[in-house]
Every structure is written in C-alpha cells, then in structure tokens.
Amino acid sequence: MPDQTAVVRRHVHGALAAGARAALGGEESLSGGPFVAPVVLVDVPEDAPAMTEETFGPTVAVNAVADVDEAVRRANASRYALGAAVFCGSRRTGAAIAARLRAGAVSVDSVLGFAAVPALPFGGSGDSGFGRIHGADGLRTFTAPQSVTVRRFAAPVDLTSFRTPAAAKARAVALMRWLHTKR
C-alpha cells in the first residue's frame, strides 16, 4: 500500500544508520515512488525498528545466532508473533523447534505453508492481532456463546423464591444433607 512505503523506508534507513548492511537492495531500493524494491538487511541491531516493529514490506533482516536456543529466544522476545518459519534438515527437529516458538502459525521447511490448509486456524499472538480466521477456531470468532435453560416442570419446593415457607426450605436442606452424607 502506498502509505506503507514510508514505514519500509524508515525501517531500512534506521537499520542502515544503526550499522546494518544491505546484502541486497539498500538506499537504491528506496528511490521513491509507490513501491519499494526488495531489501535484505544483515547484522541489524536488535533494537532497530526493522527488528522491533512490523514492517509489512519487501524487507527481511538476517542476523547470525550462536545456536537454536538463541534463535528461539530472540524470536520469542518480539512483541509480535503472527507467523514464523523454521528451516531444518529434519522434520522432527523442525517440529520441535516450531513448538518452542510463540507464534500464531509456524511452517517447517516452507514459507506460509499453513496458508495452504484452510482448515487450520490462522491468527497472531502477542501484539500481532487477536482472534483467528479459518478452521473451527476461526468460525468461533464470529460466534457468541449463549446458555439457555427451559423449565420443564415445577419443583416440589421452589428454593429460589421468597414465598417458600422456611419450614419447607429446612426440610429440603435436611434431605440434601441426608442424601450427600458419607455412610
């Protein structure tokens, strides 16, 4: 969207000014007009807006990590958690890593793989939205639970009425105590 180009430009300029490098694109990608060409940023400071805000543009920030634990820790440190992707040599390991991520949807060895399965609920975690679309959970988003009871017969003693004599209430309480006493 045309207004989003200003956000993308701000994020890219901010990352480059903070010491990131552009492995693809860069200043020339921000030449103006109604679109931004793709930009791949590397070594982006963790506190740069390109890392802490949602860009929603053709940019990606790539930072090296020491191990999977650090990658999961950094990903989960974000206040946004719409979707994630895990690329791994093993499906089992990829699924285990995915389970550790706090994200609304995670694809293993694909990008947006969950979008191809309409029965899966889709929605974010954290500040990346609320509710779900698709699947049973998505349908529940458009509902409001309601409980309804219909009286089928009159109770012999109406314990919820102020008109019930005290003696009748006392007999009902005594009966319940007798029924529910351990023997």
pLDDT band of 131, cuts 50, 70, 90: low
44 DSSP 8-state letter: -
Average pLDDT, the chain: 84
The answer as to whether 173 is a domain residue is yes
Same domain, 2 and 60: yes
Could you give the C-alpha distances from 26 to 29, 30, 34, 71, 181, in angstroms and in order? 5, 7, 16, 25, 78
The shares of helix, strand and coil residues in the chain, as percent rounded to the nearest 5, are 35, 15, 50
Segments forming the whole domain that contains residue 88: 81-138
Is the predicted pLDDT of residue 15 greater than 80, yes or no? yes
Question: Is 145 part of a structural domain of the chain?
Answer: no
CA-based Rg of the chain, rounded to a whole angstrom? 29
Checking if the pLDDT of 32 tops 80, the result is no
Same domain, 2 and 58: yes
**Which positions ≥6 away from 60 have C-beta within 8 Å?**
39, 40, 41
**Higher model confidence: residue 139 or residue 181?**
181
Distance CA 133, CA 21 (A): 37
Tell me, yes or no, whether 147 lies in a domain.
no
Pairwise pLDDT comparison (121 vs 46), residue with the higher score: 46
Number of domains making up the chain: 3
**Inside any domain, residue 35:** yes
pLDDT tens for each residue of 60-116: 999 999 999 999 999 999 888 778 889 998 999 999 999 999 888 888 998 877 777
Does residue 182 lie within any of the structural domains? yes
The answer to whether the predicted template modeling score (pTM) of the entire model surpasses 0.95 is no
